[in-house]
């Protein structure tokens, strides 16, 4: 529930009749090594839907989290109802009238709908115990307002994703929130459910609620949004009304930058097909993935976050094997049921999340680097050939220019870029024929990035076939011989280096 001081602020606001309910000016937010937002502005009108647009990493989520009180900006001002405010925490934001509907819904599965909605402000009876009957009644009234048909006494775990979303929205409404943030609300629901959601959104608009809307779907933008603001590389690009621009204009605003000289793609001789993938599917995740990969080729894999790129990589490497389709390596049909199988076929996978699935944080650089290579030899008389292994790792350390005094350092003491190099070295020690790199330069400083790009190019020249997933379009365009684009689990096209442009990729990636 909004607090008392907020209620007073709302009264003052009503008298003023300002054009904007929320004004954000000069916001800057830095994370270690990255400037997520740089001098960003954003203005939200009451009773409107305002979409945030931009590529992955453009800064939309950071801005959204600042508005929701999850992050505190390093610099800049936030004016709510014409008065400067500090949003110290999500709870603070909620009390000031800003609610967020999370992409991963934040409801308690084992409690009822009513309990979830009224948590922390349950109606009490004379004994100070929770009055469940009254709570159910309050929920019914709330749902009637929103024309929702959900049983207040149902357990959340029995509801569909769409219904849960409606419960979250109802919860926000019950808080009398004036600003509602929706992060990709339609990403997991069916079309009829989308229609219902849009009805509710229009209803909320009519009551003067302002909605910040994040989506990757262009069509929705034109259907539901009144205005949109575009962000690129953490910077504000501009705000427009959705009626006076075309889809192409928006895409151009989203990508509009030149490819820098960052990506030293060196010509490599492209050899024969080493891997062909046919109709690879994992129901519910991706479908009908078909492509050939040649020696010396770099195949870029583009698509928005959640399009299934990483899932394809994990399926190829046997982390989560596909259930349908064929993989042929060097002309032979192979079954890859585990990473060990994939490694036997000469594959290597640098995973997307360095911390979660890459590094062994408590272990040393040496231990981290050698682990994959230990599967094939390097063992003498039952013991690991420490000296030989150390020499190989030292060689790798020099070759990849890993900055560390010695290999006995714990990997957690290295910077992100150096950790990434250690992980790349881990796979190079297995001498892979097919190297799958998932976001190889994410969260890495510029210098290390260029080194990793050069290394990838050089590996391709040595005949390694590379699949590179990246959310950075310039990187994909700069490095790849061909680019496969995915959208919602489907391949939407494969572009040749010559014909590929940022606009073409975005068109395939964000239908």
Partner 1 sequence: MDNVQIEPVKRQRRGLPQELNILMVLVAVALVFEILGWIFQGQSFLMNTRRLTIMILQVSVVGIIAIGVTQVIITGGIDLSSGSVVAMTAMITMSVAQSGDYARAMYPALTDLPVMVPLAVGLGLGLIAGMINGALIALTGIPPFIATLGMMVTARGIAKWYTKGQPISFPTDSFAAIGSGAWPVFIFLAVALIFHIALRYTRYGKFTYAIGANPQAARVSGINVQRHLIKVYAIAGLLAGLAGIVTAARAETAQAGMGMMYELDAIAAAVIGGTSLSGGRGRIFGTVIGTLILGLMMSGFTFLRVDAFYQEIVKGVIIVAAVVADTFRQNARSKKA
What distance in Å separates the CA atoms of residue 98 and residue 169, rounded to the nearest whole number? 12
233 Cβ neighbours under 8 A, 6+ residues apart? 57, 58, 59, 257
Q: Which of 445, 461, 501, 511 binds partner 1 (CB under 8 A)?
A: 445
What number of chain residues touch partner 1 (CB under 8 A)? 47
Q: Where are the alpha helices (DSSP H) in 227-278?
A: 247-255
What distance in Å separates the CA atoms of residue 307 and residue 325, rounded to the nearest whole number? 19
Say if residues 299 and 466 touch (Cβ distance below 8 Å).
Answer: yes
Segment interacting with partner 1, rule: CB under 8 A, options 84-92, 126-134, 176-184, 447-455: 447-455
Q: What is the DSSP letter of 17?
A: -
What distance in Å separates the CA atoms of residue 279 and residue 291, rounded to the nearest whole number? 9
Q: Which of 121, 207, 403, 511 binds partner 1 (CB under 8 A)?
A: 403
Nearer to partner 1, 19 or 362 (CB): 362
Residues of span 305-364 touching partner 1 by CB under 8 A? 317, 319, 338-340, 342-343, 349, 351, 356-363
Q: Which of 19, 32, 128, 405 binds partner 1 (CB under 8 A)?
A: 405
Site string for partner 1, 248-287 (x = CB under 8 A): -------------x--------------------------
Q: Where are the alpha helices (DSSP H) in 227-319?
A: 247-255, 309-316
Site string for partner 1, 449-478 (x = CB under 8 A): -xx---------------------------
Residue 197: how many other CB atoms lie within 10 Å: 20
Q: Is residue 424 at the binding interface for partner 1, with CB under 8 A as the rule?
A: no
Say if residues 37 and 62 touch (Cβ distance below 8 Å).
Answer: yes
Nearer to partner 1, 127 or 356 (CB): 356
Work out how close the CB of 316 gets to partner 1 at its nearest, in angstroms, rounded to a whole number: 12
Nearer to partner 1, 213 or 263 (CB): 263
**Residue/partner pairs of 29-36 with CB below 8 Å, 24 or more apart:** 29/62, 29/66, 29/71, 29/73, 29/74, 30/74, 33/415, 33/416, 33/443, 33/444, 33/445, 34/234, 34/443, 35/234, 36/62, 36/234
Q: Which of 413, 431, 461, 496 binds partner 1 (CB under 8 A)?
A: 413
Segment interacting with partner 1, rule: CB under 8 A, options 97-105, 140-148, 326-334, 374-382: 374-382
Q: Is residue 218 at the binding interface for partner 1, with CB under 8 A as the rule?
A: no
Work out how close the CB of 328 gets to partner 1 at its nearest, in angstroms, rounded to a whole number: 21
Work out how close the CB of 461 gets to partner 1 at its nearest, in angstroms, rounded to a whole number: 20
Q: Is residue 379 at the binding interface for partner 1, with CB under 8 A as the rule?
A: yes
Q: How many residues does the chain have?
A: 511
Segment interacting with partner 1, rule: CB under 8 A, options 77-85, 164-172, 182-190, 375-383: 375-383
Segment interacting with partner 1, rule: CB under 8 A, options 218-226, 282-290, 369-377, 467-475: 369-377
Nearer to partner 1, 57 or 417 (CB): 417
100 Cβ neighbours under 8 A, 6+ residues apart? 64, 67, 68, 70, 90, 93, 172, 180, 181, 183
What distance in Å separates the CA atoms of residue 245 and residue 111, rounded to the nearest whole number? 45
Work out how close the CB of 431 gets to partner 1 at its nearest, in angstroms, rounded to a whole number: 14
Burial label for 19, CB within 10 Å (0-12, 13-18, 19+), is exposed
Segment interacting with partner 1, rule: CB under 8 A, options 63-71, 229-237, 277-285, 443-451: 443-451
Binding site for partner 1 (CB under 8 A): 261, 317, 319, 338-340, 342-343, 349, 351, 356-363, 367, 370-372, 374-375, 379, 382-384, 386, 403-406, 408-410, 412-415, 418, 426, 445-447, 450-451
């Amino acid at each position: 529930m909004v607090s008392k001081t907020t209620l007073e602020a709302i009264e003052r606001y009503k008298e003023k009749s300002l054009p904007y309910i929320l004004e954000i000016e000069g916001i800057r937010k830095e994370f270690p090594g990255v400037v997520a937002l740089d001098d960003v502005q954003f203005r939200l009108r009451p009773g409107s839907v305002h979409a945030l647009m931009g590529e992955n990493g453009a800064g939309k989520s950071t801005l959204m989290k600042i508005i929701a009180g999850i992050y505190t900006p390093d610099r800049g001002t936030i004016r709510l109802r014409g008065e400067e405010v500090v949003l110290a925490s999500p709870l603070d934001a909620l009390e000031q009238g800003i609610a967020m509907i999370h992409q991963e819904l934040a409801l308690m599965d084992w409690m009822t709908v009513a309990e979830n909605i009224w948590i922390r402000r349950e109606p009490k009876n004379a004994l100070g115990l929770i009055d469940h009957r009254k709570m159910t009644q309050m929920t019914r009234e709330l749902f009637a307002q929103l024309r929702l048909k959900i049983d207040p006494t149902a357990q959340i775990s029995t509801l569909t994703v769409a219904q849960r979303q409606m419960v979250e929205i109802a919860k926000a409404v019950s808080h009398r929130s004036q600003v509602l943030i929706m992060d990709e609300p339609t990403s997991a629901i069916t079309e009829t459910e989308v229609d219902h959601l849009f009805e509710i959104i229009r209803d909320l608009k009519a009551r003067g609620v302002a909605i910040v809307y994040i989506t990757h779907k262009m069509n929705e933008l034109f259907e539901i949004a009144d205005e949109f603001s575009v962000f690129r590389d953490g910077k504000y690009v501009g705000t427009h009304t959705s009626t006076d621009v075309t889809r192409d204009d928006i895409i151009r605003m989203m990508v509009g930058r030149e490819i820098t000289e960052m990506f030293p793609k060196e010509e490599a001789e492209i050899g024969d097909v080493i891997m062909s993938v046919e109709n690879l599917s994992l129901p519910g995740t991706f479908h009908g993935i078909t492509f050939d990969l040649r020696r010396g080729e770099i195949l870029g894999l583009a698509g928005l976050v959640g399009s299934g790129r990483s899932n394809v990589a994990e399926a190829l490497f046997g982390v989560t094997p596909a259930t349908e389709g064929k993989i042929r390596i060097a002309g032979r049909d192979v079954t890859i049921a585990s990473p060990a199988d994939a490694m036997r076929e000469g594959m290597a996978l640098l995973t997307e999340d360095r911390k979660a699935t890459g590094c062994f944080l408590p272990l040393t650089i040496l231990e981290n680097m050698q682990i994959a290579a230990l599967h094939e030899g390097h063992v003498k008389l039952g013991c690991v050939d420490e000296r030989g292994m150390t020499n190989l790792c030292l060689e790798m350390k020099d070759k990849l220019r890993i900055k560390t005094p010695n290999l006995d350092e714990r990997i957690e003491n290295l910077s992100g870029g150096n950790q990434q190099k250690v992980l790349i070295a881990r796979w190079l020690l297995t001498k892979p024929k097919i190297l799958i790199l998932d976001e190889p330069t994410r969260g890495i400083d510029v210098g290390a990035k260029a080194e990793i790009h050069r290394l990838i190019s050089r590996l391709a020249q040595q005949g390694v076939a590379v699949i590179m997933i990246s959310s950075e379009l310039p990187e994909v365009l700069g490095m790849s011989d061909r680019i496969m684009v995915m959208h919602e689990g489907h391949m939407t096209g494969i572009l040749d280096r010559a014909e590929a442009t940022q606009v073409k990729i975005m068109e395939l990636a964000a239908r």
